[in-house]
Amino acid sequence: AQTVTQSQPEMSVQEAETVTLSCTYDTSESNYYLFWYKQPPSRQMILVIRQEAYKQQNATENRFSVNFQKAAKSFSLKISDSQLGDTAMYFCAFMSGTYKYIFGTGTRLKVLA
């Protein structure tokens, strides 16, 4: 069975600095997709970034980028120039051809002024 592990329950970062959130997963499939979602205090779930496993190039969305290491089954999220509005819970998610999206337990990020 696929699993997603986020080993950092909580992290903090100073405003304008860079932080990396880690995510590892386990699967025997070769074709799958990975996502990072953000859940701010409003509790909405917001898609941050996505990565296709067959693409070697790491995805980037403005200040958000990923470091995708397929062999290591690692999918970390880097947030550059952290802003107060980045304070949120971040969830890593895995999706394969079996329809199910599997979420990690989340990392609570606090950006400090």
Partner 1 sequence: DSGVTQTPKHLITATGQRVTLRCSPRSGDLSVYWYQQSLDQGLQFLIQYYNGEERAKGNILERFSAQQFPDLHSELNLSSLELGDSALYFCASSVATEGRSNSPLHFGNGTRLTVT
Residues within the interface to partner 1 (CB under 8 A): 33, 35, 37, 43-47, 50, 52, 91, 93, 95-106
**E strands along 22-106, which residues?**
24-26, 33-39, 46-52, 60-61, 64-69, 74-79, 88-95, 101-103
CB of 16 to partner 1, least distance (A): 28
CB of 17 to partner 1, least distance (A): 25
- Is 12 or 44 the residue whose CB approaches partner 1 more closely? 44
Which residue is listed with tokens 């070769």? 30
- Is 66 or 93 the residue whose CB approaches partner 1 more closely? 93
* CA 83 vs CA 16, 27, 33, 44, 78: distances in Å: 6, 34, 27, 18, 13
CA 10 vs. chain centroid, Å, equals 14
- Is 73 or 104 the residue whose CB approaches partner 1 more closely? 104
CB of 39 to partner 1, least distance (A): 9
Task: Give the Cα separation of 83 and 19 in Å (integer).
Answer: 11
CB of 43 to partner 1, least distance (A): 6
- Is 11 or 102 the residue whose CB approaches partner 1 more closely? 102
CA 85 vs. chain centroid, Å, equals 17
